[in-house]
Amino acid sequence: MNFFKKIKKELSDQKLFRDNWFLALLFLLVGGLIFLVAWSATHIHATDIEVPIRFTSLTNFDELGKWYQLYEIPAIAIIVSIINVFFAALLHKKNRIISIFLIITALMVVILAIAILLGFTAIKYGN
């Protein structure tokens, strides 16, 4: 019990959890990640045909691949978000602005990943 009280006291003393901007952006980031994972789980299906995995504005869909390669999009967004949140929490005491910019960067990566994944999974392939 004493251990949990000590952790609770340390967490409540952190200025990080009193920063409304940080918490609001973190809430949006986690919401975006939950949407990204849920959309991936429900809209990426196994199929025998190759699906588009790369898009450029010059040549439109220019690379085909296996269906499971679409999981790279949310995986990269999750990895970038975890790294940015870690560094944002680490740097929050020293520089609040850099901390918030790291969270905003992670949020932009998640929004871009959602847009890309929606574009790639809007079409039903195979079945």
Taking only the tens place, the pLDDT of each residue in 23-32 is 899 999 999 9
Assess if residue 4 is contained within a domain.
Answer: no
Assess if residue 47 is contained within a domain.
Answer: yes
pLDDT tens-place string over residues 88-113 = 888 888 888 999 999 999 999 999 99
With a CB cutoff of 8 Å and minimum separation 6, the contacts of 20 are: none
Distance CA 26, CA 106 (A): 9
Assess if residue 73 is contained within a domain.
Answer: yes
Cα-flanking dihedrals φ and ψ of residue 55, to 5°? -135, 135
Distance CA 52, CA 71 (A): 13
Whole-model pTM: value is: 0.80
Assess if residue 102 is contained within a domain.
Answer: yes
Assess if residue 90 is contained within a domain.
Answer: yes
For residue 102, give its domain range: 15-121
Assess if residue 127 is contained within a domain.
Answer: no
CA angle 65/29/87 to nearest 5° reads 95
Contact 79, 90 (CB under 8 A): no
The model's confidence at residue 20, banded by pLDDT at 50, 70 and 90, is: confident
Please count the structural domains in the chain: 1
Mean pLDDT, rounded, for 62-91:
89
Assess if residue 33 is contained within a domain.
Answer: yes
